[in-house]
Homo-oligomer: A and B are copies of this chain.
């Protein structure tokens, strides 16, 4: 799922993109990398200012290792990728400081199209793994959870080593002032909450999840604290959570600057959180070892795809094997597969 919110372009909010100009290319570039091993819309693989690569490197390694098929959904990305993708036909999201984050008709359509797609995919696989690439997604999560009556302050994660909680809290505060939504005021109107303080990814992933669950399927929400927003929406809609789980990396669950488990627990005690240990601290490649030092951590469904690879292979694929393949992907990027 690739998406965009102007919130992600606020300076200091995300590590996605070397500079602000690149942020809007990151989701498209991530999905091109998944299919091709290089990017088409930009010259290099997305990388943070510190030189740490996109988590799509992990995702690609996991999907290839376990031969897992995948499709890409565009739900309001600003730059369209040069791949076949499923279009939801919606616009990018606005800066949530405006209090009008996503057009209400787009929120509705995203959920409805998601539901249709989820029904088809739910009939076609045992477990649907849903990942995302939307820079700024933890800040919009903070906003939506406020409207739904879930306190996520200082609990959301960050793609940066130093979590800019105060900046995020301030952005959300501005959005609340503009939209005049009190804490929990929209606890029964999750799509309105998204329209005020969310982003286009949320109703899209929530819709797909609803569709999968409605045909008896299972969902793994592959991501860090952003997926708390999706879970909050599903709960608000009264959906049964028995067949839903969260999958991420240990770099999110071990992070002391956020609290994924606490956050998920405050939404539903039924939903387990699984974390893949990718042994990044052992990597000889500094850009990968950085994940273990709190950079990037997860994204593009990296942790969830790693778990799916372990599940599909009945454990034959483990963290060490994944790390080796991730390092190979990284070497491939360095040695000109990326051009």
Show the binding face of A for B, using Cβ within 8 Å: 35, 67-71, 73-74, 80, 82-89, 113-114, 116-117, 119-125
Contact = CB atoms under 8 A, between A and B. Distances in A.
B71 A113 contact: no
A69 B113 contact: no
Given A120-B71, A124-B69, A86 B85 contact: yes
A123 B69 contact: yes
Contacts of A74: 87
Contact of A69 (B35, B71, B84, B120): B120
Q: Which 4 A-B pairs have the closest CB atoms?
A: A84-B113, A69-B120, A69-B123, A84-B117
A116 B83 contact: yes
Contact of A120 (B70, B80, B87, B120): B70
A121 B86 CA distance: 13
A116 B86 contact: no
Contacts of A122: 69
A120 to B, nearest CB: 4
A202 B87 CA distance: 21
Contact of A84 (B35, B70, B87): B87
Contacts of A84: 73, 86-89, 113-114, 116-117
Contact of A116 (B35, B67, B88): B35
A186 B293 CA distance: 58
Contacts of A73: 84
A124 B113 CA distance: 21
A129 to B, nearest CB: 13
11 contacts: A35-B116, A68-B123, A71-B86, A71-B120, A73-B84, A74-B87, A80-B89, A84-B88, A84-B116, A86-B86, A87-B87
Nearest to A67: B123
A41 B69 CA distance: 32
Contacts of A35: 116
Contacts of A89: 80, 82, 84
A72 to B, nearest CB: 9
B87 A121 contact: no
A70 B120 CA distance: 6
Contacts of A69: 119-124
A85 B89 CA distance: 9
B83 A113 contact: yes
Nearest to A74: B87
A77 to B, nearest CB: 12
Nearest to A121: B69
